[in-house]
Structure 1
Amino acid sequence: MKIRYVDFYKFTIYILVFLNLGFLDFVRNYNSKIQLLTAVIAIMLLCLYFVQPQKINIADKWILLYICMLFILTIIEIIRLKNDVYAIVSISNGINLTKNYIFVLLFFPIYEILNSDEETKENFIKGIVILGFFALVLRFGGWFIYNYLGYNLVPGYFDVMGYNWTRNGNVRIGGTFLDGFVFIYLSLHLLKSRDLKDVSKYIFCLVFMVIYAYFTYGSRSQLLCYICTFAILYVVKGENIKTGVLNLVLILGGLIVILYTTSTVQNFLATFSVDDNMYGAGTLVRINGQKLYQQQWLESSKLLGFGITEDGNYIGLTKYYLSDLGILRNLYQYGIIGFIICIIPFIDGIITSIFGILKKNSYSVFLLGLVMYTIMTSIASQNVYDYSRIMILPFLLAFIGLVFRENKLRRIS
């Protein structure tokens, strides 16, 4: 039996997603090796894509331009490492710190999969969601057993951020690059389901993700992004957007009044203040880090930034993490030019999804949710360009390409 290119792509992407979700990391952290392997396989898949006959046309040329510009920017920044004014890292280390940008090349095989027959596409998306969800289940189980039963069954997960990364007295475990993808998929299926059994299933899964974000990950920003993303999906998913907006306002208004009277909202919002007893110190470090890195950027090159550097850097006796700055990290490191390049997928994705929603094209709402979630989390401290999350970028690009192609086909027809 002849194996289709798209079937080989599908199998390979599953393997890469499985590895990057950390299913093999529970005993020992293999992040660095898996990322290198992913980069090598991404290049190999690109070579296979070039020789593949009868490829699906990529209608959205902005994606191709973005990929080319991203690699040109990376090469320029690596060359600049010869000048210690911009970054005190070696060329080899600079390449190692940016190797994950190669992951965007996975756009090409994923795009082929999403533009294949409907059954292949649906099964592929569902398979990715299942992998993403059970990765969280595995992490939650290991987190619960360690923090509440005292047995460390997943030391590899705790090694990523260390045992001092705590909140509410518990050692935390981070989420995955697929959290938003899974959340949006489940939310949309919940909103369109009519069967009580299916509704219960999706509600259970979504509640689990909220619990994971708040307790296991200890991420207030991700919890807020979940809420905002669900609100967006609720509005645009309905047949009548005006009615959806009105219902949403009424529901949120009622919830705010109820929560406000119990002081829950005030207590939660207070955790973002530098005066908060539990979270204030961390918030203050982020604010100071933002000011210090901003100053370094202004003193180096506004157009190209201060260049490639390690995530954590000591300034005085305090270690400040670039990853805490979210998407601002890209502005400070790569300057105005680099920042504009990095936000091209966001702009392209919003425009493409809105046109798709107006034309009632499939996956347009999913794309809008994915773009908005990625923007919101990147503005917070979960930048999509961080090494642990950039794997979602080729999926985002592929969905932009899919919806853009559908929009163009609609115009032609």
Structure 2
Amino acid sequence: MIALMLRILVWFLYNKVGLNLMPGLFSVMGYSWSHGSGIRLPGTFLDGFLLSYSLSKIRDNRLKHRRIYPYLICAGISLYYVYYVFNSRSQILCFLLVIMLSFAFVNNRIFSSLAKVLLLVLCCFFIAKIYLHTDFLQSVLNFYDPGTQVRFLGFDFYQSDWLNHKILGFGIVSDGNIFHTWYNSWIYYLSDLGIVNTLFQFGYVGLIILFSPFIFSFFIGLKNNRSLNGYFLMLSSFYTILSSIFFQNVYDSPRILIVPFILALMQLSMKDDKNNEERHFYNRV
């Protein structure tokens, strides 16, 4: 949270005041990395983890109402950062779907059922939008937007090579390639493909090996969602899977540090589940 607030301050001073307090933060993605008029700043690898933790604490029945407000503020700051400072459409979408998933497990049965149905529909719709490479999709995503157009060009380029190496992929390659659009010449990065990056480089085998822990951890969290650790694990795993699908692969260098956090949380959740089973057993006895 301190890191996000510091980045918000640096971003505000640069874009609104013209003071470049920490040039190293802006030089990572370049001073031309923007949507609209403001130069954007990427977040940290803990952004989704922080939002998931805040939502799990808000849902924790052991907290009194007045103790929930700090976590509401944390969630609000996280949303502010991803919307204004990072300004990433895929990140915003991931945050909204994680919040929707948290709504699906509230105590109100009607509200929970509606949230689950809406979440399922949204997930299917957006995943289809990404992977169904059709003219309809191009029109929906504004194909003539340079950022969207270069993504399609990059996808076609890497996919043509992958088609001959589906099982094990075409191997590790350089990240950036230059593509020419109607607007400008762009360097498109293989890492921008998200989970498809893993599929193209390591094939079906690599995709299964690398992402099975997150699928496994999500279902462990789903099974133990009544506990704090289980609910936290479910949300954070869901976010990690979604963000990897939406062009932000968890195994890219800026985000890979979240992997041991999720694996450790999975161990805690499994331990909680084992303790609960033992407790129920002794109660029956």
TM-score clears 0.5: yes
Question: What amino acid is aligned across from residue 343 of structure 1 in structure 2?
Answer: F
C-alpha separation between the residues in 2 aligned to 1:381 and 1:328? 8
2:178 counterpart residue number: 314
C-alpha separation between the residues in 2 aligned to 1:185 and 1:233? 11
Indicate conservation of the 8 Å contact 1:302/1:335, yes or no.
yes
Indicate conservation of the 8 Å contact 1:175/1:217, yes or no.
yes
C-alpha separation between the residues in 2 aligned to 1:251 and 1:383? 25
Question: What amino acid is aligned across from residue 314 of structure 1 in structure 2?
Answer: I
Deviation of residue 361 (structure 1)? 3.9
Give a deviation string over 1:154-177, Cα, whole Å, max 9, x none. Answer: 111001101011111111110110
Question: What amino acid is aligned across from residue 272 of structure 2 in structure 1?
Answer: E
Question: What amino acid is aligned across from residue 398 of structure 1 in structure 2?
Answer: A
Indicate conservation of the 8 Å contact 1:174/1:217, yes or no.
yes
1:370 counterpart residue number: 236
Indicate conservation of the 8 Å contact 2:219/2:234, yes or no.
no
Q: What is the aligned counterpart of 1:274 among 142, 158, 177?
A: 142
C-alpha separation between the residues in 2 aligned to 1:346 and 1:272? 30
C-alpha separation between the residues in 1 aligned to 2:117 and 2:267? 36
Deviation of residue 275 (structure 1)? 4.5
Q: 1:168 to 1:285 in 2, by over 3 A?
A: same
Deviation of residue 334 (structure 1)? 0.7
C-alpha separation between the residues in 2 aligned to 1:139 and 1:364? 30
Indicate conservation of the 8 Å contact 2:153/2:179, yes or no.
no
Deviation of residue 196 (structure 1)? 5.0
Question: What amino acid is aligned across from residue 162 of structure 1 in structure 2?
Answer: G
Deviation of residue 315 (structure 1)? 5.2
Question: What amino acid is aligned across from residue 169 of structure 2 in structure 1?
Answer: G
Question: What amino acid is aligned across from residue 198 of structure 1 in structure 2?
Answer: R
Higher relative contact order structure (alpha carbons within 8 Å, sequence separation ≥ 6): 1
Residues 1:292 and 2:160 are matched in the alignment: no
Q: What is the aligned counterpart of 2:57 among 164, 189, 197?
A: 189
1:382 counterpart residue number: 248
C-alpha separation between the residues in 1 aligned to 2:39 and 2:228? 41
Q: 1:251 to 1:387 in 2, by over 3 A?
A: closer
Question: What amino acid is aligned across from residue 270 of structure 2 in structure 1?
Answer: F
C-alpha separation between the residues in 2 aligned to 1:201 and 1:346? 29
Q: 1:229 to 1:163 in 2, by over 3 A?
A: same
Q: 1:306 to 1:247 in 2, by over 3 A?
A: closer
C-alpha separation between the residues in 1 aligned to 2:86 and 2:200? 27
C-alpha separation between the residues in 2 aligned to 1:174 and 1:342? 24
Residues 1:219 and 2:88 are matched in the alignment: yes
Q: 1:312 to 1:199 in 2, by over 3 A?
A: same
Indicate conservation of the 8 Å contact 2:56/2:228, yes or no.
no
Give a deviation string over 1:260-289, Cα, whole Å, max 9, x none. Answer: xxxxxxxxxx9972246xxx2101111221
Residues 1:159 and 2:17 are matched in the alignment: no
Indicate conservation of the 8 Å contact 1:191/1:234, yes or no.
no
1:326 counterpart residue number: 194
Q: 1:168 to 1:373 in 2, by over 3 A?
A: same
C-alpha separation between the residues in 2 aligned to 1:172 and 1:318? 18
C-alpha separation between the residues in 1 aligned to 2:237 and 2:78? 19
1:67-86 alignment, distance < 5 Å: none
Question: What amino acid is aligned across from residue 245 of structure 1 in structure 2?
Answer: S
C-alpha separation between the residues in 2 aligned to 1:134 and 1:331? 35
Q: 1:247 to 1:336 in 2, by over 3 A?
A: closer
Deviation of residue 318 (structure 1)? 4.1
Deviation of residue 362 (structure 1)? 4.0
1:140-159 alignment, distance < 5 Å: 140-159=8-27
Q: 1:353 to 1:216 in 2, by over 3 A?
A: same
C-alpha separation between the residues in 1 aligned to 2:117 and 2:221? 26
Identical aligned pairs, as a percentage? 38
1:43-82 alignment, distance < 5 Å: none
C-alpha separation between the residues in 2 aligned to 1:362 and 1:197? 19
C-alpha separation between the residues in 2 aligned to 1:195 and 1:226? 25
Aligned with 1:162: secondary structure? coil
